[in-house]
Amino acid sequence: MAWLVLVISGVLEAVWAVALGRSEGFSRPLPTVVFLLALAASMGGLAYALRTLPIGTSYAVWVGIGAALTVAYGMATGEESVSILKVLLICGLIGCVIGLKLAH
């Protein structure tokens, strides 16, 4: 259960990161509210997962999922450039996250 919560929390990290960018310095209400809710849920889920999982592995998985999804979203929306190298590096990041789970 802790792993599932950790993965969902990693997804929510990407949500709050994107919402933070779209809030334009907290000047837009809807993205600001999405940011705050996703941040609270993401941190809460991470805290829950840390009750049974090691901090180093959990944090690396949480950040890795959030970073990979945030960049992938940026590339999908055209806000980030797309290149083979970027895609390969993101795949490597995802592979490392999976490896951390398997090594646990």
How many domains does the chain divide into?
A: 1
Task: Read off the pTM.
Answer: 0.91
pLDDT of residue 100: 87
pLDDT under 70: residue ranges of the chain:
none
Give the position of tokens 């000047």. Answer: 27
pLDDT (tens digit per residue) in 22-51 = 999 999 999 999 999 999 999 999 999 999
Distances 28 to 38, 47, 72, 78, 91 between C-alpha atoms, Å: 16, 28, 23, 21, 33
Residue-number span of the structural domain to which 47 is assigned: 2-103
- The pLDDT assigned to 101 comes to 86
pLDDT of residue 52: 97
